[in-house]
Structure 1
Amino acid sequence: MTEPLHLSVVMIVKDEAELLPECLESVSWADEIILLDSGSQDTTREIAARHGALVFSTDVWYGYGKQRQLAQQRASGEMILMIDADERVTPELHLAIKQVLNAPLQQDVVWSIARRNLFLGRFMRHSGWYPDRVTRLYPRHYQYNSSQVHESLESGNARIQPLQGDLLHLTCRDFANFQWKQFAYAEAWAKQRFHQGQRCGFFSIFSHTLGAFVKTLIIRAGFLDGKQGWLLAMVNAHYTFNKYTTLWALSHAAKKG
């Protein structure tokens, strides 16, 4: 009987002392946990060390994609599970991952996981927030791209295989903090697109904003998520408005300059 594949759980964090314990407990069965800290001012590093994680630190922020690359470079496992501090592996998902680890290594397969996203006290079932599949389990020769935000795994022609079980994602626990993060993502998105040569016209701001609202509420059946579905449609529209308005402002300033 062959030995199970070794699994490295890889995380990038900053000031996650409140969320980290439950997250680490949900993956305590992994062969190793690699945690790359980006200048935490709280007890994140101490908590991680107490839970047996291998803790590394950097004071430089390269963007989400490159930070994940740097963290993964520290891993020694044949398989990588990339998660965040506000995520928890359910027992069902643990079982599914264990089955993958007990099988021979498949070099050309990566695995997607369904996330259940929390929004204002409710785990959403529609609105484009479930199953919200993300590719997080993969052989170590794959890695994330270098995008500042909305980074993704560069898996080439690999076959994507869905796993059973969910990854709980505590997306929006505090609405004000959630909105601040959304604005930071929007700004980073706009700056990256601007430097890549993308431009935005004035009226496209409103067409994209309206489109985001309709897509969330109607096309993705957000209305079935009750009050939270309506509110999320507004939040997605606001996020889209911020993205394209920031891109328009950068484009407008460039023309004047």
Structure 2
Amino acid sequence: MKTIAGLIITFNEEKHIEELINNISFVDQIIVIDSFSTDATLEKIAKFSNVIVIQHKFKNFAEQRNFALKQVTQDWILFIDADERITKPLQKEIITTINSDTSISGYMIKRLFYFKNKRIRFSGFQTDTTYRLFKTNKVTYIQDKIVHEMPKIEGETGLLKNNMLHYSFDSAAHYKSKMEHYAKLKALELSKKRKTTNIFNLHFRPLYKFIVNYIFRLGFLDGKEGFTLCYLSAYGVYFRYKTLKTLNH
């Protein structure tokens, strides 16, 4: 039987962490890389004897994930965020997959997105997939992609059939703060590449983002939650270029 490690990156995840640890109890080892949480995250993790906690200062997502990868000694890695959950069918598929004679080094998983505990079916989230399952020593994260980090996988990749659940945001304020955090990191990434901003980026890019998600990707069918998500996604684009303008000056 092949072994698998569950990798979790945390910062102030007291709301999710206990449920997540119980959710991935099928793995052989759980490793948490915590960037010095100030809430009850560590106290809640301490209840579990099967979890290794390593504190590591957060620089960016790519660096944090690469540090986490270096801690693994198992055959496979399940990288999972605190607000994600593995369904029973997906759990069975993961176990079957890692114990099969597969030549594939990394797998993407489809996510079902929830906002305020409501399933969001459109608004740009209907095609949400992310890399989460890897053979150990076959993956690293590209260093200059410091937000929306991208793995570099040695070998073939595939897509698992079953979905995972993504309980990402419980309020508009929470989503807005995350958009601003990601926008700041993306602006820093662009600034390092000597990118500049202009009127088009500040005004037309956000409008285009909203129109695509709300109209063409059917966000209006998600009701008021769809409007909120599409508006805040567009706001994130505006905030990115506003921050880039500040950085460049």
TM-score, normalised to structure 1, is 0.90
Does the 8 Å CA contact 1:92/1:164 hold for their aligned counterparts?
no
Map of 1:134 onto structure 2: 130
Report the Cα offset of residue 202 of structure 1.
2.1
Report the Cα offset of residue 17 of structure 1.
1.7
Of the candidates 226, 229, 244, which is equivalent to residue 226 of structure 2?
Answer: 229
Partner SS state of residue 228, structure 2: helix
Letter in 1 for 2:53: V
Does the 8 Å CA contact 1:114/1:130 hold for their aligned counterparts?
no
Letter in 1 for 2:3: H
Letter in 1 for 2:150: S
Equivalence map 1:1-257=2 (5 Å)? 4-51=1-48, 52-58=50-56, 60-106=57-103, 108-141=104-137, 142-146=139-143, 147-155=145-153, 158-251=155-248, 253=249
Does the 8 Å CA contact 1:183/1:239 hold for their aligned counterparts?
yes
Q: Could you say if the C-alpha distance between residues 249 and 183 of structure 1 is closer, same or farther in structure 2, counting changes exceeding 3 Å?
A: same
Report the Cα offset of residue 88 of structure 1.
0.9
Partner SS state of residue 178, structure 1: helix
Distance 1:247 1:124 in 2: 30
Does the 8 Å CA contact 1:125/1:131 hold for their aligned counterparts?
no
After superposition, what is the alpha-carbon deviation per residue over 1:198-224, rounded to whole angstroms, capped at 9, x for unaligned?
A: 111123321111110011112212122
Does the 8 Å CA contact 2:13/2:41 hold for their aligned counterparts?
yes
Does the 8 Å CA contact 2:124/2:219 hold for their aligned counterparts?
yes
Partner SS state of residue 165, structure 1: strand
Q: Could you say if the C-alpha distance between residues 131 and 26 of structure 1 is closer, same or farther in structure 2, counting changes exceeding 3 Å?
A: farther
Letter in 1 for 2:36: G
TM-score, normalised to structure 2, is 0.93
After superposition, what is the alpha-carbon deviation per residue over 1:94-120, rounded to whole angstroms, capped at 9, x for unaligned?
A: 0110111221252x4311101111123
Does the 8 Å CA contact 1:116/1:131 hold for their aligned counterparts?
no
Calculate the aligned-residue CA RMSD, in Å: 1.6
Partner SS state of residue 148, structure 2: coil
Q: Which runs of 5+ in 1 are unaligned?
A: none
How many residues are aligned here? 246
After superposition, what is the alpha-carbon deviation per residue over 1:10-47, rounded to whole angstroms, capped at 9, x for unaligned?
A: 11101212210111111001011111111112332232
Does the 8 Å CA contact 2:86/2:165 hold for their aligned counterparts?
yes
Does the 8 Å CA contact 2:78/2:134 hold for their aligned counterparts?
yes
Report the Cα offset of residue 250 of structure 1.
2.8
